Amino acid sequence: MKRQLIEITSGGLPVALRKIRAIPIWILAFCFFVFIRLIKRLILVRFDFIIPSRIGHLLITPAIYLGHRQVGTNMPSQRYLDLFYLQRADAGFDHNWAANDFILKKIRKKMHFLPRFLLSRVAVINGKLGNTEHSIITKGLPCDIRDLDDVFCNTNPPLWFTTKEEARGLEISSKMGLKEDKPFICIYNRDNSYLAKVSPISNWDFYQYRNFPASDLLVVASTLIERGFDVVRMGSHVESKIKHLDPRIIEYCDSEFQSSFMDVFLSNRCTAFFGSDSGLTVIPEIFKKTVGICNTLPLSLLTTNYSKAIVLPKLLCEKATGRLLSIRESFEFEQENSLDESIFASSEISYKFNSHEQLIDLVDETIARSQNTWVTTKDDEILQQRIWSHFDVDQITARYNMTYHKTFRSTFSTLFLRKNRDWYLDPI
């Protein structure tokens, strides 16, 4: 009540009228809360929110929930009804604004959504007067933004295409220059242009360390062309185009063909996906595609949960000497610092983008694994065990206050491990 009075005093009549108009909604929310408490022995009504403004959250959280629901894990033993509402995560976004309208439309067909104005208030009342059995559905999992139990690869995807949508996607693909009988690979580099476009009131420069330049994509694209693939550069907003003259490299991003529907359709039709760690890579993961992930940072949050991912981080180095930090030293730096671009600007440590040689190696390994032609040796298996043994799950969980790693199913770039043993064969 004290907070309400302060807001009314500072906001005046408009704020007072807005709060008065909300009274009937709060009464309705309270009645709903009482109702679900009364019927909980017959049916458990639970509720949670979905963040629509980031593709990662919009797709991963529902996909993990639906995967567990499909196989019957992490679900109540009694009859239950799960309800959801949309909740923004960042200033500048509307609560209902979705990073991908097509994904949201499909998710709505598989999950029960109620208006935020009602269910969010029920959640507030439940937090004050109720208990957690009625809330925290996806948040009750060890991590709601990582597929820790590999449900992506063991359940049906939450996205699908009708016959009409399939025909539409093929028609647009043909206009783009893609042929049905010619394989193509999607490529992507993360930059700040998307967030700057959709939420210009925020400063996203602190995320700069997660990006890598589009110029390095030209090396990736040229390699893929040499290997016999067409290339589609993904993204809705990009800072710069790839400078090339080859018609087999299609700048789908910022083109007339770009749409939320085609983002999903192309990610499903491609042979493989190559890019940086970002929400966009989740779409091909949902469709069980092989994904090569380069230039990822921080090392401690490397993708480890997707069994068809090949990962390669940025490497940390000393600014003065250029000496690379070992994997042990890299983990120590990340434990001591909250990573954002200002840390690297003010400290004696910087990061290095993956070299062209490393990118080409990752491209070749991604292609081979997508075509099931990659041969793993006994020594490779030992190298994989050695690299993942450096990841202290308990320490990382304590650092970020969330379980990001459970088992290590991803593949650390094998060609990198073969060529850089000094980096990680450091005393554990």
Contact indicator for 388, 412 with CB cutoff of 8 Å: yes
- Please give the Cα distance from 223 to 401 (Å, whole number): 40
Q: Distances in Å between the alpha carbon of 262 and those of 107, 130, 192?
A: 17, 43, 21
Return the pLDDT at 428: 43
Contact indicator for 155, 66 with CB cutoff of 8 Å: yes
What's the sign of the alpha-carbon dihedral 181, 172, 286, 224? positive
Look at 7-16, 142-151, 186-195, 331-340 and tell me which has the smallest mean pLDDT: 7-16
pLDDT tens-place string over residues 297-306: 999 999 999 9
The DSSP code sequence of 71-119 is HT-S--SS-EEEEEEE---STTS-TT--S-HHHHHHHHHHSEE--HHHH
Q: Is the pLDDT of residue 92 over 60?
A: yes
Q: Distances in Å between the alpha carbon of 12 and those of 18, 21, 24, 252, 327?
A: 10, 15, 21, 49, 57
pLDDT tens-place string over residues 234-291: 988 777 788 777 889 999 987 899 999 999 999 999 999 999 988 889 999 999 999 9
- Please give the Cα distance from 158 to 110 (Å, whole number): 8
Strands 315-318 and 349-352: antiparallel
pTM for the model: 0.91
Q: What is the Cα 340 distance to its own chain's centre? A: 18
Domains of the chain by range and CATH? 2-140 (no CATH), 163-424 (3.40.50.2000)
> Which residues does 9 contact at the CB level (< 8 Å), separation at least 6?
none
Mean pLDDT of 336-361: 91
The DSSP code sequence of 400-417 is HTS---SS--SEE-HHHH
HSE-CB at 343 with a 13 A cutoff on CA atoms is: 17
The structure tokens listed for 279 are: 């929400």
What's the sign of the alpha-carbon dihedral 89, 92, 94, 99? negative
pLDDT tens-place string over residues 195-221: 767 676 667 777 788 888 888 999 999
